[in-house]
Structure 1
Amino acid sequence: MKILAIAGSNSDTSINRQLVTYATTLFENADIEVVDMNNFEMPIYKHQTQVESGIPQEAIDFAAKIDDSDVLLVSLSEHNGTYSTAFKNVFDWTSRIKQRAVWNEKPMLLMATAPGARGGLGVLEAAEKRFPLHGGNIIETFTLPFFNDNFDKEAQKISNKEKDNELRKKVSKISSVETILEK
């Protein structure tokens, strides 16, 4: 199984990257790639730019990574209740590639975390509504509130046993879905 893990943040200290990276460790016998949004910097989407210059290679490369994966793990950072600008720009450009759905119907575990009580619930809710319109096959969702209290930064894992067990069950479910799809 090939897993593409995406942290929807360009922060060098992204807590969503920490969460999605931890989630990858819960899969057995998987080929894993964690992408860095900083590798997909391109002009802010503008129709005129697209007409004049076409789709940036970075968007094409991002789409190819999705196409080359079996499962997507996406952990979104929340900026003012929605996606980070870095993620939204990559999403926007990728959505402009002709004859493709951004997520290409790949099974997805959609996640978010934040330092506060809602744990990125606003961005998670926005993505749950939007992603299926762009080929998002969301199998499970997970949110981790109070990141600094529930994630052990030294051990790089969830320290809250209840939330850790919840994530493990959801990883197990998406692993089972992938097994079914392989048959």
Structure 2
Amino acid sequence: MTMKILAFAGSTRSNSLNQKLLDIAALGAIESGAQVTHIHLGDYPLPFYDGDLEGKSGLPEKAAALQDLVAESDALLIASPDYNGGYSAVLKNALDWTGRPNGDGHSGLAHFANKAAAVVSASPGPLGGSRGQLAIRGVLDKLGMLVIPQSFSLGLAHEAFDKTHRLRDARADAMVRAVGAALAETVRKLKG
């Protein structure tokens, strides 16, 4: 059985701490038999969602491409940075556009419904982005996704990685990989 997971970070920064953490969580999913597709939201530039713009111009091409990727996936694995206690605007905007009706009028929300999702987060702060993670979990739930309880928040993340982007703490590495593995196992169970 093929398990397809779409993985992306809510940060478009080069050398993103959340991207590094996402890559480790994705390894856990791959080690559990999932096929992981990595995307970078910087490759999907979108205007800020505006209903008037949508009415005038329709769904942007990059939003339609994101819809296709979500539709083809069984689950989402997201690394969400914490921006002032919330999630990033680029992450929310990508989800907002992806949930809009496509060119043939079908709801974009259908692409999310009843699929699994997992969230990890990294931050230089001591809470590891847990406040932003909690907020984005609520958004994913509202989209109809089954957000698994397993998650990971990496505090003081600017000190946690070595030069090869590996976590210095072997226990933390195992815990992050376990999130990816739990997501793969959830997909396996959902697919029967």
**TM above 0.5:** yes
* Aligned-pair CA distance for 1:134: 0.7
Matched residue, 2:41: 37
Pairing of 1:79-98 with structure 2 (within 5 A):
79-97=83-101, 98=106
Matched residue, 1:169: 178
CA contact (8 A) 2:24 2:176 kept: no
Gaps of 5+ in 2: none
Matched residue, 1:100: 108
- Percent identity of paired positions between Structure 1 and Structure 2: 27
Q: Higher strand fraction: Structure 1 or Structure 2?
A: 1
Matched residue, 1:143: 153
Q: Distance in 2 between matches of 1:20 and 1:168?
A: 9
Q: Distance in 2 between matches of 1:47 and 1:123?
A: 25
SS, match of residue 113 in structure 2: coil
* Aligned-pair CA distance for 1:50: 0.7
Q: Distance in 2 between matches of 1:168 and 1:18?
A: 12
* Aligned-pair CA distance for 1:130: 2.2
| Letter of the structure 1 residue corresponding to residue 153 of structure 2 | T
Gaps of 5+ in 1: none
Matched residue, 2:167: 158
* Aligned-pair CA distance for 1:63: 1.5
Matched, 1:57 2:61: yes
* Aligned-pair CA distance for 1:66: 1.1
Matched residue, 1:25: 27
SS, match of residue 108 in structure 2: coil
Q: Decide which of 68, 72, 76 is 1:68's aligned counterpart.
A: 72
Q: Distance in 1 between matches of 2:108 and 2:154?
A: 31
Q: Distance in 2 between matches of 1:179 and 1:95?
A: 25
Q: Distance in 2 between matches of 1:55 and 1:4?
A: 21
| Cα RMSD for the two superposed structures | 1.8
How has the CA–CA distance of structure 1 residues 30 and 130 changed in structure 2, closer, same or farther, with 3 Å as cutoff? closer
**Scaled by the length of structure 1, what TM-score is found?**
0.89
* Aligned-pair CA distance for 1:151: 2.4
**Scaled by the length of structure 2, what TM-score is found?**
0.86
How has the CA–CA distance of structure 1 residues 169 and 22 changed in structure 2, closer, same or farther, with 3 Å as cutoff? closer
Choose 118-127 or 75-84, whichever is displaced more.
75-84
CA contact (8 A) 1:6 1:36 kept: yes
* Aligned-pair CA distance for 1:156: 2.2
How has the CA–CA distance of structure 1 residues 180 and 94 changed in structure 2, closer, same or farther, with 3 Å as cutoff? same
Q: Distance in 2 between matches of 1:135 and 1:114?
A: 27
